[in-house]
Structure 1
Amino acid sequence: MSYKILVTGGAGYIGSILVPELLKQGHKVTVLDNFMFGQNSLLECCAYNHFDVFRGDARDESILKPLLQKHDYIIPLAALVGAPLCSRDKIGTVTTSRDAALSLVKLASAEHRIIIPTTNSGYGVGQKGVYCTEETPLKPISLYGIVKAEAEKIVLDRGNAISFRLATVFGMSPRMRIDLLVNDFTYRAVNDRFVVIFEGHFKRNYIHIRDVARAFLHAINNFEGMKNEPYNVGMSDANLSKLELCAKIKECIPDFVYLESPVGEDPDKRDYVVSNEKIEKTGFKPLYSLEAGIKELIKGYRIITNSKYGNI
């Protein structure tokens, strides 16, 4: 079945993979984006008759309101993402990630279906050896984690919605982000052949960007059975520490050297392991392994030779 879908921030890292997949499935897609990074990642989509795009801010209710009236689904991707960028622009982080969700809930009708990406970084620092499930209390420790947890509550309390608590995303995208952990470490391995790690025992979960897109398609196709719930979206076999991640990269780049610094600390303090069993029980399973993603990134970094592809 074909739906009319509005994607805010659709020209970003995730949207640049998701929007073409939605179009291939026959959905009518409209993107609202301010193109703050100067990206041209959706140019290929312009050939589709069932694609439209507007330059504007997702916080601007005068733009958002008329667009909402024409769509069945809303996927609000617009956000300032990542601890460094959020620390640099705290007001923009709050207004884009949380206040825009308030506007969306206020302007949307009860019939609108919302699928919102949040983050499993909301779990903050977990208990050693204890998996974080969707029932685990959220204890975000970064501004990004705090506002995304607030946005999730706003949308789920409204109803007719699904929240995806995304693991750390990796993989190539037309609007690339090198600053994400797997992407960053692989970039350093390809270009510098070494990395110095702070607090290498800290663990987190990972998910390939194309599996993120698949999760959204899965939610659209199974909305009634999944609605009004949060879901962790990650790979169950990829709850890895930074040191374990580097070992995986070294398997693909044997001369990569990684060292753990005895001094210094990581500004991103999250440390947890995550269960993805809930979404797996709905029939969703990731297809792209960490190894496949690293090999993909290695090829991509033969093309990308500078660091403009990031949020910092």
Structure 2
Amino acid sequence: MTARLLVTGAAGYLGSVLCEHLLDAGYRVTALDSLMYGQNSLFHLCANPAFDFIEGDVRNEDLMQRLIKDADVIIPLAAIVGAPACKRDPGMTKSVNLEAVQLINRLRSPQQLVVYPNTNSGYGASTGDTYCTEDTPLDPISLYGQTKVQAELELLESPNAITLRLATVFGTSPRMRLDLLVNHFVYTAITDGYLVIFEKDFKRNYVHIRDVADCMIYCIQNAEKMTGRPYNVGLDEANLSKEELALKVKEYVPNFYIHFAPIGSDPDKRNYIVSNQRLREAGFEAKRTLDDGIKELLKGYRMMGRAPFKNI
């Protein structure tokens, strides 16, 4: 029988790509989203009879109880994402990022698999000199990281859960995000033509959005050997400093002016490099390169046309 999947936050940046991959892999998908940003990023899936969409709030217990009972696998993507958005509304952040995941965990049976996307920002402001593994102590420095880490820990104390500590994601999506670092650097390069970078040596890891989707499918298909553990999900060759990332973008946008400011600080203090060895040993490895992503983004941004408030 075809597995039935419930994806919350399905119309978001990751969800709108993931649902496409899940359907292509032969799963039945019920997508739940509150559409708080007014997005229509799942229109292209509506013709597929294996796809269904529910507009609703992941914090609605009656709704979640009804949807969860029909699911074999639950992928809780619904979240207030990123440190600035979380800081703007701390109460909503806690209720969506943590309490809604606790609700799912309470309502599901031990036989229902959860594949949960955490963030590797939980490693916090490390030195950037040594690799963070899944055994590295978690020390999140933002409310976003704190809520995601707490939700992960509670899931891993329960049966039949896999958690994925995602690197900074890049690539195009029907629900595009420009605040993610690679996406932002490329967009700024072709619109503003210049960028001021503080703390240029701070490092982090990156991963393509479609590799994340493929990884989630791999987890579903190999759940028996993977449950009960967290996995870092990133591109091994993409442990880069902000300087290295900006210079990589400049290879494709030669007139991009980059100023490395010696004075000043970035509010995002993350500085770490990540080992993805555990996931590779489990049989999955991210393949899509930063070069692939930059070329893809340049193509996609040409479709965005003029910014609505810029008279150019």
How high is the TM-score relative to the length of structure 1?
0.97
**C-alpha distance in structure 1 between counterparts of 2:304 and 2:83, whole Å:** 23
Counterpart for residue 267 of structure 1: 267
Q: Find the residue that maps to 2:266 and give its secondary structure.
A: coil
Counterpart for residue 175 of structure 1: 175
Q: Do 2:5 and 2:73's aligned partners in 1 also have CA atoms closer than 8 Å?
A: yes
Residues 96-119 of structure 1, C-alpha deviation per residue, up to 9 Å, x if partnerless?
111111101111111110000000
Counterpart for residue 159 of structure 2: 159
Give me the CA root mean square deviation.
1.1
Structure 1 residues 71 and 307: alpha-carbon distance in aligned structure 2, compared to 1, 3 A threshold:
farther
Counterpart for residue 192 of structure 2: 192
Structure 1 residues 3 and 174: alpha-carbon distance in aligned structure 2, compared to 1, 3 A threshold:
same
Aligned letter for 1:196? V
**C-alpha distance in structure 2 between counterparts of 1:253 and 1:86, whole Å:** 32
Counterpart for residue 253 of structure 1: 253
Counterpart for residue 138 of structure 2: 138
**C-alpha distance in structure 1 between counterparts of 2:131 and 2:218, whole Å:** 24
**C-alpha distance in structure 1 between counterparts of 2:287 and 2:56, whole Å:** 34
Q: Find the residue that maps to 2:175 and give its secondary structure.
A: coil
Aligned letter for 1:157? E
Give aligned pairs, total. Answer: 308
Aligned letter for 1:304? M
Counterpart for residue 277 of structure 2: 277
Q: Do 2:4 and 2:73's aligned partners in 1 also have CA atoms closer than 8 Å?
A: yes
Counterpart for residue 39 of structure 1: 39
Instruction: Check if 1:237 corresponds to 2:254.
Output: no
Counterpart for residue 224 of structure 1: 224
Gaps in structure 2 of 5+ consecutive residues: none
Q: Do 2:118 and 2:152's aligned partners in 1 also have CA atoms closer than 8 Å?
A: yes
How far 1:287 sits from its partner (Å)? 1.8
Instruction: Check if 1:292 corresponds to 2:287.
Output: no
Counterpart for residue 9 of structure 1: 9
Counterpart for residue 59 of structure 1: 59
Q: Do 2:128 and 2:202's aligned partners in 1 also have CA atoms closer than 8 Å?
A: no
Aligned letter for 1:278? R
Counterpart for residue 89 of structure 1: 89
**C-alpha distance in structure 2 between counterparts of 1:44 and 1:199, whole Å:** 41
**C-alpha distance in structure 1 between counterparts of 2:297 and 2:243, whole Å:** 19
**C-alpha distance in structure 1 between counterparts of 2:128 and 2:54, whole Å:** 46
Aligned letter for 1:302? R
Structure 1 residues 306 and 95: alpha-carbon distance in aligned structure 2, compared to 1, 3 A threshold:
farther
Structure 1 residues 99 and 307: alpha-carbon distance in aligned structure 2, compared to 1, 3 A threshold:
farther
**C-alpha distance in structure 2 between counterparts of 1:36 and 1:261, whole Å:** 36
Q: Do 1:101 and 1:154's aligned partners in 2 also have CA atoms closer than 8 Å?
A: no
Q: Do 1:166 and 1:232's aligned partners in 2 also have CA atoms closer than 8 Å?
A: yes
Residues 32-87 of structure 1, C-alpha deviation per residue, up to 9 Å, x if partnerless?
10011111110111111111110000111111001000010000000000111011
Residues 179-228 of structure 1, C-alpha deviation per residue, up to 9 Å, x if partnerless?
10000010000111110011111100000000000100110111101111
Aligned letter for 2:116? I
How high is the TM-score relative to the length of structure 2?
0.97
Q: Do 1:98 and 1:150's aligned partners in 2 also have CA atoms closer than 8 Å?
A: yes
Q: Find the residue that maps to 1:54 and give its secondary structure.
A: strand
